[in-house]
Structure 1
Amino acid sequence: MSAVMITRKVRKWEKLPGKNTFCCDGRVMMARQKGVFYLTLFLIVGTCALFFAFECPYLAVHLSPTIPVFAALLFLFVMAMLLRTSFSDPGVLPRALPEEATFIEMEIEAANGNVPAGQRPPPRIRNVQINNQIVKLKYCYTCKIFRPPRASHCSICDNCVDRFDHHCPWVGNCVGKRNYRYFYLFTLSLSLLTIYIFTFDIVHVVMRKYQLSNQREQTGFTVLEVLVCFFTLWSVVGLTGFHTYLISLNQTTNEDIKGSWSGKNRVQNPYSHKNILKNCCEVLCGPTYPSVLDRRGVMQEDSPVSAASAAPSSSSSTNPVPQTTVRTHTHINLNIKSRAITEGVGEK
């Protein structure tokens, strides 16, 4: 039985490569490994629920009614920053189309020339100048593009991410150019919330112990919260301090681990303004970059079906379905000079 091609419209997020999951018709983008993210939600929501249920009623009456109000506002801000970090596109770069990949391969072969047998070809790199500093752009063999400055390929999500910082399993997403500030605000506000709950848990235990009333309520849940906050405090506050240090230098975690700007061989960080305030303003108060993926765009796809099921009925015989497919793609200009203009760099 012969088969015919039927054209149907699909969202572009359904055909995007990589190892990401999409929800809400492509509006939500996360990594596939989300188990630790659910643990993060459970720890934050569970600890705050215990605090509101057992400590806040007593502290609001005997100390101040503003304690639960401030805790609620801080909790809502933490959850907003967490969800904003986890559900957004971190700055994924689209892969080259087949035509673009073929053209880049031809350019590389022409530049390298004929390599003798038994010898390794030269590395696929390009040099650009940023603030009088030479920066190497590496070629990604998976995405078939020369990665922009500070971009890197995430092995977990299998995508190149612009200004890649790291892949964070606690938020279930990569941390990159488009969600780094929200990640930092999440860690900072979570540190404040943990310190806040930890402090008033201790205050609650002390007030219960030395109160003049003969009524002694159980404080078992309070002790549990103190233990959770105590062990969480070190990691969360330490992480916030580390990223505060990176922001003051305008540096990423990936660059710090690799020692990209360690000062060896007179290699300095070309992105640093040599001023802590300017670096912080650029990272935290800079423009919000739009996503380049066009996840919710529409494209057309051919689907093979049997001729019997595709036969038009009498009601539609006068309006046959055209079999010609018009494919639409998001064309991303990978020319280094055009990217250099947007990034404020010049090719050399």
Structure 2
Amino acid sequence: MSAVMITRKVRKWEKLPGKNTFCCDGRVMMARQKGVFYLTLFLIVGTCALFFAFECPYLAVHLSPTIPVFAALLFLFVLAMLLRTSFSDPGVLPRALPEEASFIEMEIEAANGNVPAGQRPPPRIRNVEINNQIVKLKYCYTCKIFRPPRASHCSICDNCVDRFDHHCPWVGNCVGKRNYRYFYLFTLSLSLLTIYIFTFNIVHVVMRSVDNGFLNTLKETPGTVLEVLVCFFTLWSVVGLTGFHTYLISLNQTTNEDIKGSWSGKNRVQNPYSHKNMIKNCCEVLCGPTYPSVLDRRGLMQLSPVSEFSANDTDASPCSSSTDSSNSSKTLPSTKRAILCLHKPRPPPIRNNPTSDDLKASITDTAHTSPAHSQAEESSAAKTPPLATPETDAEASVAKSH
């Protein structure tokens, strides 16, 4: 029987501490709360399906065949931007390892010194200079790191996200450094698609009302009425959201910074990331480089080794006799014999320093077995005095007293 150490390799996404869900072996990364994302997908697909079923056949014949073609291209682009935003890593920062976290804690304690009892320790902040302006880096107590500039901790996903904009439940993911441009393109294309469908719904109703009347047209096309209602209520929110993010992009600012008033507070601190030019700011946000993910979700990592016992049925058990091993090998499997062998009682250990009682017992046993041997021992004992122990001295003192 021998112990075999087995190391199992798993993907890193299986051990990430954040509140995210992964699919397709770590290729798809989303938040756990995905109910609103499914609602968004249902509204987009359902509205476009009604438009292609009711309006497009009539408009393609009576107005232009390019209307359904352009609507299909716009729909596919909206769907692609939505999935790209929802299924990608928004820029999650990895947490510090235990060794790194302890080193950072030691640095903070050394910098702050001993804090008297009853006083709060100073805030954990580091200052860096960006474009001749001091920017404060805050310490994250959850991730055990000093967050980079413009990064923030998302309470829903429980992760620090680089250039954190906001957590959007409609896309089921955070919006950050790696997926912000796709989020903006999604809102922009969705606004165009909503306006496009709403406009041609009105055109379709007007063209059919000329021949059949307005009320008869509404009765004949119930899908058109449903589309008009959905587009009317979603048009204002989607177009307003697109306009708000267009304003933020022109200033090179995030939603989180705008809500907190980071660059428009009491101190009137200027935005160090703005180029003072709307075109340059838009080009940096929308046309800048694509940043790689720093998580390495699909990388391999080794778990702690696990020991397993492997035994051969033909080998004899080292703690049993030949007869026991032959009989047990026929009745018990190897793993059970190994367990019984481990639980078998062991002989008592041999004492290194025997007591006087042990010496007396050994002398009496040898006296009964061989008289010649006992005589030899007595002669040798007469030549060499016995060892004095505390017990023998006590016995001698008791004998003298009697």
Give runs of aligned pairs for residues 69-148 of structure 1, distance below 5 A: 69-148=69-148
TM-score by length of 1: 0.86
In structure 2, the partner of 1:227 is 229
Question: In the aligned structure 2, how far is the partner of 1:258 from the partner of 1:4?
Answer: 57
Partner AA of 2:105 in structure 1: E
Question: In the aligned structure 1, how far is the partner of 2:17 from the partner of 2:293?
Answer: 16
In structure 1, the partner of 2:211 is 211
Deviations 1:41-62 (A, max 9, x none): 0000000000000000000000
| Deviation of 1:7 (Å) | 1.2
The 3-state SS of whatever aligns with 2:304 is strand
| Deviation of 1:212 (Å) | 7.2
In structure 2, the partner of 1:33 is 33
Larger radius of gyration: 2
| Deviation of 1:98 (Å) | 0.3
Moved over 2 A (4+): 3-6, 302-305, 310-314
8 A contact 1:86–1:172 mirrored in 2: yes
Question: In the aligned structure 2, how far is the partner of 1:77 from the partner of 1:245?
Answer: 23
Partner AA of 1:21 in structure 2: T
Relative distance call for 1:21 and 1:265 in structure 2 (3 A) is same
| Deviation of 1:248 (Å) | 0.3
Percentage of identical aligned residues:
91
8 A contact 1:247–1:280 mirrored in 2: yes
The 3-state SS of whatever aligns with 1:302 is coil
Partner AA of 1:167 in structure 2: H
Deviations 1:20-67 (A, max 9, x none): 000000000000000000000000000000000000000000000000
| Deviation of 1:311 (Å) | 2.2
Partner AA of 2:228 in structure 1: V
Relative distance call for 1:243 and 1:303 in structure 2 (3 A) is same
Question: In the aligned structure 2, how far is the partner of 1:157 from the partner of 1:118?
Answer: 34
| Deviation of 1:132 (Å) | 1.0
Question: In the aligned structure 1, how far is the partner of 2:25 from the partner of 2:16?
Answer: 13
The 3-state SS of whatever aligns with 1:198 is helix
In structure 2, the partner of 1:46 is 46
Question: In the aligned structure 1, how far is the partner of 2:228 from the partner of 2:304?
Answer: 59
Alignment of 1:278 onto 2:277: no
The 3-state SS of whatever aligns with 1:264 is coil
Structure in which a larger fraction of residues adopt helix: 2
8 A contact 1:190–1:236 mirrored in 2: yes
| Deviation of 1:69 (Å) | 0.1
Deviations 1:170-216 (A, max 9, x none): 00000000000000000000000000000000000111100379x96
Relative distance call for 1:20 and 1:212 in structure 2 (3 A) is closer
Question: In the aligned structure 2, how far is the partner of 1:90 from the partner of 1:16?
Answer: 15
In structure 2, the partner of 1:325 is none
* Cα RMSD after superposing both structures: 1.8
8 A contact 2:5–2:306 mirrored in 1: yes
The 3-state SS of whatever aligns with 2:303 is strand
In structure 2, the partner of 1:240 is 242
Question: In the aligned structure 2, how far is the partner of 1:165 from the partner of 1:287?
Answer: 18
| Deviation of 1:106 (Å) | 0.2
In structure 1, the partner of 2:341 is none
The 3-state SS of whatever aligns with 2:7 is strand
Deviations 1:67-87 (A, max 9, x none): 000000000000000000000
Structure 2: give runs of 5+ residues left out of the alignment. Answer: 314-402
8 A contact 2:4–2:310 mirrored in 1: no
| Deviation of 1:264 (Å) | 2.9
Question: In the aligned structure 2, how far is the partner of 1:297 from the partner of 1:152?
Answer: 25
The 3-state SS of whatever aligns with 1:266 is coil
In structure 2, the partner of 1:318 is none
The 3-state SS of whatever aligns with 1:160 is strand
| Deviation of 1:5 (Å) | 5.7
Deviations 1:116-161 (A, max 9, x none): 0000000000000111111000000000000000000000000000
Question: In the aligned structure 2, how far is the partner of 1:44 from the partner of 1:79?
Answer: 8
Question: In the aligned structure 1, how far is the partner of 2:312 from the partner of 2:181?
Answer: 56
Instruction: Count how many residue pairs are aligned between Structure 1 and Structure 2.
Output: 309
The 3-state SS of whatever aligns with 2:264 is coil
The 3-state SS of whatever aligns with 1:22 is strand
Structure 1: give runs of 5+ residues left out of the alignment. Answer: 315-348
| Deviation of 1:265 (Å) | 1.4
- Of structures 1 and 2, the one with the larger relative CO (CA 8 A, separation 6+) is 1
Partner AA of 1:161 in structure 2: V
8 A contact 1:147–1:160 mirrored in 2: yes
Give runs of aligned pairs for residues 175-186 of structure 1, distance below 5 A: 175-186=175-186
8 A contact 1:5–1:302 mirrored in 2: no
In structure 2, the partner of 1:345 is none
Partner AA of 2:137 in structure 1: L
